[in-house]
Chain A
């Protein structure tokens, strides 16, 4: 099983900040990474697929990148609606999610 480790587990930031979330795979997974956003009491929603492709309707301030074992999700300038929990997912083998990064307002 390929494990996905997200860091940090939580982060506090302010509106307008640039923040980068990291997801590391236990072995190389090429570009088989997706990112989801989940707000309290809601189902997760797809943000980015195939490492860096924005899902339709997702603002361009969300940027995905990476390859091999290290992947990042950057939010270039935080808006109030961006405070949520973010999960990475690998689909290179048996699908597995990272444990999530909770993005909180400072």
Chain B
């Protein structure tokens, strides 16, 4: 069974950095991309970016470009998300998830979807 297990909650001061890990099991890690999504308290889901576990290719949300770095360690089947220059607006639960690639059936094509999700990591930014 496919599982993504994330590291524990973190507390940081404004201006600091945080690194969250996401260990995958139950599938060939390098076959899929990993995405990171965050959710501020009481708010919706915000896509942060994605990384190919095969070649390390990354795509980042424009509003986080320059502050976030996604990496993978294929030797341990672990993905990492580092966020720098933290502010109180970065207080959120951070999720990793596996991207399942879309497909085409006949003349119709369908995009990627996300499954499963990690359990989430609460990052609190407070002075």
Contact residues of B: prevailing secondary structure: strand
Number of A-B contacts (CB under 8 A): 74
Q: Scoring A residues 77 to 106 as 1 if CB is less than 8 Å from chain B, else 0, what string do you get?
A: 000000000010111101111111000000
A29 to B109 CA separation, bound complex (whole angstroms)? 10
B contact residues around A29 at 8 Å (CB): 111
Closest A residue, CB atoms, query B100: A49
- The reply to whether B44 and A31 contact each other, CB–CB distance below 8 Å, is no
**What residues of B have a CB within 8 angstroms of the CB of A95 in the complex?**
35, 47, 50, 112
Which of B35, B61, B111, B120 is in CB contact (< 8 Å) with A92? B111
Does B26 touch A at the CB level, under 8 Å? Answer: no
Complex: chain A residue closest to B35, CB-CB: A95
Per-residue contact bits, chain A 41-74, to B (CB 8 Å; 1 contact, 0 not): 0011110011100010000000000000000000
Interface residues of A in 1-50 (CB under 8 A from B): 29-34, 36, 43-46, 49-50
How many A residues touch B, CB cutoff 8 Å?
27
Q: Is there contact, CB below 8 Å, between B44 and A91?
A: no
Which positions in A face B, CB cutoff 8 Å?
Answer: 29-34, 36, 43-46, 49-51, 55, 87, 89-92, 94-100
Q: List 17 A-B contacts (CB under 8 A).
A: A30-B108, A30-B109, A31-B110, A32-B110, A34-B111, A43-B117, A46-B113, A46-B114, A49-B100, A50-B103, A55-B115, A87-B44, A89-B113, A89-B114, A92-B111, A97-B37, A97-B47
Closest 9 CB pairs of A and B: A91-B111, A32-B111, A50-B110, A49-B113, A46-B115, A43-B117, A97-B45, A34-B113, A91-B112
